[in-house]
Amino acid sequence: MPSRRGKARSARSGATRRPAKRHPTADALARKIESRSANLAVVGLGYVGLPLAVEFAQAGFHVLGIDVDAARVRRLTAGESYIRDVPTGDVRALVRSGHLQATTDFAALKRADVVNVCVPTPLSKQRDPDMSFVLAASEQVAKHLRPGMLVILESTTYPGTTDELILPLLEKTGLKVGRDFFLAFSPERVDPGNARFNTRNIPKVVGGVTRACTEAAVLLYRQRLEAVVPVSSPQVAEMVKLLENTFRSVNIGLVNEIALLCRRLKIDVWEVIEAAATKPFGFMPFYPGPGLGGHCIPIDPFYLSWKARASGFETRFIELAGHINGQMPAHVVDLVAESLNRRGRAVRGSRVLVLGVAYKADIDDIRESPSLDILQTLVERGAHVEYSDPYVPTLEFAGRKLRSVPLTATNLKRFDCVVIATAHRSIPFATVLRHAKGVVDTRNALKGKRSDAIVRL
């Protein structure tokens, strides 16, 4: 039986030494992976699962996607992508060649040799980890677990999840990890909308429950991904992801606080950051903004603080950054009030256009978007709100279906204030400035423009 913990090895794929002797089950799985005859299943076909399924299918594996969302499964089966970063042409070709299939039926797991779990990990109403999706998916995997299977959790989660939550579920079957089946955690680091880095060229961190588990997972990813980084345990891999996202949250919190201070001191924070970023070492630019958004940065650090609390430890940086970042949408609304005030108007009764409701530039994802908080707060203060976003044609908001307002001169002139909340590259910012009565710029989209109509964050 292999030792329970492998050691962290070289950061480049290809550098992991093959063990002198592998258990027959591990050996059989390795042969299937290397010959591409292993059947792969990806559970959860969203922003993470679909690109991963497509990469493996393009590597020549037969990949079965399983999702509880019947509409997504129908679209995939028809060869259509619903994720912007995944071209429909790629999906169609893979569906036609039979390398990619999708289903809502978990019985299909019976045929799987490898299962990647990519389901959501949101927060509960109390802002604690909501593990219900991971548990539901893992129970299905447990039902169909059989000797020789490799199970990898990719959903972002607190350190200890794989060992404490998933492993007992799978071992209840009587099968033994590292001998009969293999279990690992590998965080997904995909950055939607990033044209340079994608599932294939972002190094993949992998931590298995046993050394054999790590080796099996590393071998799988090496078939397609450019770099694989084995670490000594699932806990390390789980913590890596939370460190990365906490690092972003804390640094954004710091720069948001500096932005608030700079405003008080009448210093242009954007100019400060740009100049500071010329330092060739020891400084990494982060930018202020209207608040955190997306499925990761506003949520993941609270997985860590929850785990810390359970261990009697207080994560003060996380709480403080959460507090500062959480105040930013209200601060933006104060800037709207300032913009209107300059022209002798009140928020109540004014017409405000929020420009960009996706949580970041050049994507269509509105999850946790600070624009939604800004819209909500403006409504509470009596403003009439509309929005414009080239990537979000309609928006369910406060029980109404809003439509994206086209950015024409006539439309822009209808509003008392325009809030630039997301700087999509395709937005004609010069046109916005030319026709808007007042603009609150939270993204420095109007960099270099001088006008009394602009209020900058």
**Structure-token pair, residue 50:** 């679909």
* Pair 26, 182: CB distance under 8 Å: yes
Orientation of helix 49-58 relative to helix 88-97, angle to 10°: 50
Q: Which of 99, 222, 224, 295 binds ligand NAD (CB under 6 A)?
A: 295
Is 45 near ligand NAD (CB under 6 A)?
yes
Residues 6+ apart with CB under 8 A from 210: 2, 3, 4, 5, 6, 177, 178, 182
Neighbours of 125 (CB within 10 A): 6
Is 155 near ligand NAD (CB under 6 A)?
yes
- Coil, helix or strand at residue 213: helix
Rounded CA-CA distance 347/333 in Å is 9
Is 44 near ligand NAD (CB under 6 A)?
yes
* Pair 257, 326: CB distance under 8 Å: no
* Pair 22, 55: CB distance under 8 Å: no
From 131-139, 320-328, 369-377, 446-454, give the range in contact with ligand NAD by CB under 6 A.
131-139
Q: Which residues pair with 116 in a beta bridge?
A: 42, 152
Is 69 near ligand NAD (CB under 6 A)?
yes
Q: How far is the CB of 86 from ligand NAD (least distance, A)?
A: 11
Q: How far is the CB of 49 from ligand NAD (least distance, A)?
A: 6
Is 67 near ligand NAD (CB under 6 A)?
yes
Q: How far is the CB of 411 from ligand NAD (least distance, A)?
A: 32
Is 118 near ligand NAD (CB under 6 A)?
yes
Kindly name the residue from 213, 262, 296, 417 that is annotated as catalytic: 296
* Pair 438, 418: CB distance under 8 Å: yes
Q: Which of 116, 121, 186, 214 binds ligand NAD (CB under 6 A)?
A: 121
Q: Catalytic: 118?
A: no
From 47-55, 73-81, 204-212, 227-235, give the range in contact with ligand NAD by CB under 6 A.
47-55
For the chain, the distance separating the N- and C-terminal CA atoms, rounded to the nearest angstrom, is: 59
What would the x/- binding string for ligand NAD be over residues 186 to 225, using CB under 6 A?
--xxx-x---------------------------------
Q: Which is nearer to ligand NAD, 154 or 373 (CB)?
A: 154
Residue written as tokens 């593990």?
131
Q: Which of 2, 120, 322, 329 binds ligand NAD (CB under 6 A)?
A: 120
Binding interface with ligand NAD (CB under 6 A): 43-49, 66-69, 72, 118-121, 133, 136-137, 155-156, 188-190, 192, 295-296
Annotated catalytic residues are 296
